[in-house]
Amino acid sequence: MTYRKLLWALMFVTISLAPGCGNNRLSSVNVSPAVADARNFPNGQVQFTATGTYSGSSHPVTVNSLSWCVGSSSGLCNGNIASAATVNTNGVAQCLSGATGTVTVIAGTGGVVTMPDTGHQFKVFGTAQLTCP
Protein backbone atom coordinates (compact mmCIF):
# COMPACT_ATOMS: atom_id res chain seq x y z
CA MET A 1 0.00 0.00 0.00
CA THR A 2 1.40 3.37 -0.94
CA TYR A 3 1.97 6.09 1.63
CA ARG A 4 -0.84 8.21 0.14
CA LYS A 5 -3.38 5.35 0.27
CA LEU A 6 -2.39 4.55 3.85
CA LEU A 7 -2.80 8.20 4.83
CA TRP A 8 -6.29 8.36 3.25
CA ALA A 9 -7.31 5.11 4.94
CA LEU A 10 -6.12 6.40 8.31
CA MET A 11 -8.00 9.68 7.84
CA PHE A 12 -11.19 7.82 6.91
CA VAL A 13 -11.02 5.60 10.00
CA THR A 14 -10.26 8.57 12.27
CA ILE A 15 -13.17 10.63 10.92
CA SER A 16 -15.54 7.66 11.03
CA LEU A 17 -14.81 7.01 14.70
CA ALA A 18 -14.96 10.66 15.80
CA PRO A 19 -17.85 11.75 18.04
CA GLY A 20 -20.60 13.51 16.17
CA CYS A 21 -20.26 11.45 13.00
CA GLY A 22 -23.04 9.38 11.55
CA ASN A 23 -26.04 9.08 13.86
CA ASN A 24 -24.16 10.51 16.84
CA ARG A 25 -24.87 14.19 16.45
CA LEU A 26 -24.24 16.85 19.05
CA SER A 27 -27.55 17.35 20.82
CA SER A 28 -26.68 19.71 23.69
CA VAL A 29 -23.86 21.93 24.95
CA ASN A 30 -23.03 23.03 28.49
CA VAL A 31 -20.65 25.93 29.14
CA SER A 32 -18.78 26.30 32.42
CA PRO A 33 -18.37 28.16 34.57
CA ALA A 34 -22.06 29.02 34.17
CA VAL A 35 -21.54 32.40 35.86
CA ALA A 36 -18.24 34.27 36.16
CA ASP A 37 -17.20 37.70 37.39
CA ALA A 38 -14.17 38.96 35.45
CA ARG A 39 -12.82 40.62 38.64
CA ASN A 40 -12.17 37.16 40.11
CA PHE A 41 -9.86 35.99 37.31
CA PRO A 42 -6.23 36.87 36.50
CA ASN A 43 -6.09 39.86 34.13
CA GLY A 44 -9.89 39.64 33.88
CA GLN A 45 -9.58 36.71 31.47
CA VAL A 46 -12.10 33.93 32.04
CA GLN A 47 -11.45 30.48 30.55
CA PHE A 48 -14.78 28.93 29.59
CA THR A 49 -15.03 25.28 28.57
CA ALA A 50 -17.74 23.42 26.72
CA THR A 51 -18.99 19.90 27.15
CA GLY A 52 -21.46 18.28 24.84
CA THR A 53 -23.79 15.33 24.79
CA TYR A 54 -24.24 13.42 21.56
CA SER A 55 -27.38 11.62 20.47
CA GLY A 56 -27.21 8.00 21.49
CA SER A 57 -25.21 8.82 24.62
CA SER A 58 -25.91 10.27 28.03
CA HIS A 59 -22.25 10.98 28.85
CA PRO A 60 -21.01 14.55 28.30
CA VAL A 61 -17.59 14.95 26.71
CA THR A 62 -15.34 17.97 26.17
CA VAL A 63 -16.02 19.52 22.78
CA ASN A 64 -13.19 21.50 21.18
CA SER A 65 -14.68 22.12 17.75
CA LEU A 66 -17.30 24.71 18.72
CA SER A 67 -17.44 28.37 17.76
CA TRP A 68 -17.42 30.98 20.53
CA CYS A 69 -19.06 34.40 20.59
CA VAL A 70 -20.76 36.99 22.77
CA GLY A 71 -24.47 37.29 22.13
CA SER A 72 -27.88 36.42 23.52
CA SER A 73 -29.32 33.50 25.46
CA SER A 74 -31.16 32.47 22.28
CA GLY A 75 -27.84 31.49 20.65
CA LEU A 76 -27.56 34.57 18.44
CA CYS A 77 -24.06 36.04 18.19
CA ASN A 78 -23.84 39.82 18.14
CA GLY A 79 -22.28 40.04 14.67
CA ASN A 80 -20.96 43.56 14.13
CA ILE A 81 -22.93 44.96 17.06
CA ALA A 82 -20.68 46.33 19.81
CA SER A 83 -20.49 44.29 22.99
CA ALA A 84 -18.99 44.75 26.44
CA ALA A 85 -16.71 41.71 26.02
CA THR A 86 -14.92 39.48 23.55
CA VAL A 87 -14.28 35.74 23.52
CA ASN A 88 -11.57 34.04 21.46
CA THR A 89 -11.67 30.72 19.60
CA ASN A 90 -10.36 28.93 22.71
CA GLY A 91 -13.18 30.15 24.96
CA VAL A 92 -11.21 32.85 26.79
CA ALA A 93 -13.47 35.84 27.45
CA GLN A 94 -12.43 39.31 28.52
CA CYS A 95 -14.36 42.49 29.21
CA LEU A 96 -13.56 45.51 27.07
CA SER A 97 -11.92 48.45 28.79
CA GLY A 98 -14.49 50.43 30.80
CA ALA A 99 -17.32 47.97 30.10
CA THR A 100 -19.83 47.16 32.83
CA GLY A 101 -22.76 44.79 33.07
CA THR A 102 -23.41 41.17 32.21
CA VAL A 103 -22.94 39.54 28.80
CA THR A 104 -23.80 36.11 27.47
CA VAL A 105 -20.92 33.92 26.27
CA ILE A 106 -21.98 31.30 23.72
CA ALA A 107 -20.37 28.08 22.46
CA GLY A 108 -22.21 26.54 19.55
CA THR A 109 -22.33 24.83 16.20
CA GLY A 110 -24.59 24.30 13.22
CA GLY A 111 -25.52 27.89 12.67
CA VAL A 112 -26.67 29.92 9.75
CA VAL A 113 -25.79 33.52 8.97
CA THR A 114 -28.89 35.64 9.36
CA MET A 115 -27.46 39.00 8.27
CA PRO A 116 -23.96 40.46 8.54
CA ASP A 117 -24.97 43.07 11.13
CA THR A 118 -27.24 40.88 13.24
CA GLY A 119 -24.92 37.91 13.55
CA HIS A 120 -24.92 34.15 13.50
CA GLN A 121 -27.65 31.91 14.94
CA PHE A 122 -26.45 28.56 16.34
CA LYS A 123 -28.64 25.46 16.13
CA VAL A 124 -26.96 23.69 19.07
CA PHE A 125 -25.37 25.86 21.75
CA GLY A 126 -24.74 26.49 25.41
CA THR A 127 -24.44 29.76 27.27
CA ALA A 128 -22.78 31.26 30.33
CA GLN A 129 -22.88 34.70 31.94
CA LEU A 130 -19.86 36.98 32.28
CA THR A 131 -20.07 40.00 34.57
CA CYS A 132 -17.89 42.95 33.66
CA PRO A 133 -16.84 45.24 36.53
Q: Are 78 and 94 spatial neighbours (Cβ–Cβ below 8 Å)?
A: no
Q: Which pLDDT band holds residue 2 (cuts at 50, 70, 90)?
A: very low
In a domain, residue 91? The reply is: yes
Residues 59-71: tens digit of each pLDDT = 899 988 899 999 9
Listed as own residue / partner, the contacts of 15-21 with beta carbons closer than 8 Å and 24 or more positions apart are 19/54, 19/61, 20/54, 20/65
The pLDDT assigned to 58 comes to 84
With 0-12 CB in 10 A as exposed, 13-18 as middle and 19+ as buried, what is 20? middle
Q: Can you give the pLDDT at residue 111? A: 76
In-domain check, residue 111: yes
- Report the CATH number at residue 30: 2.60.40
**Phi then psi dihedrals of residue 27, to 5 deg:** -110, -25
- Give me the domain span that covers residue 126: 23-132
In a domain, 92, yes or no: yes
Tell me, what's the pLDDT at 23? 58
Amino acid at 81: I
pTM, rounded to two decimals: 0.77
Would 89 be classed as within a structural domain? yes
In this structure, is residue 3 part of a structural domain?
no
Whether 17 maps to a domain, the answer reads: no
User: How many domains, the chain?
Assistant: 1
Specify the range with the lowest mean pLDDT, choosing from 3-17, 73-87, 106-120.
3-17
9 in a domain, yes or no?
no
83-125 per-position pLDDT tens digit: 899 999 999 999 999 999 999 999 999 877 666 667 789 999 9
Q: Where are the alpha helices (DSSP H) in the chain?
A: 3-17
Please indicate, yes or no, if residue 99 is contained in any of the structural domains. Answer: yes
Amino acid at site 130: L
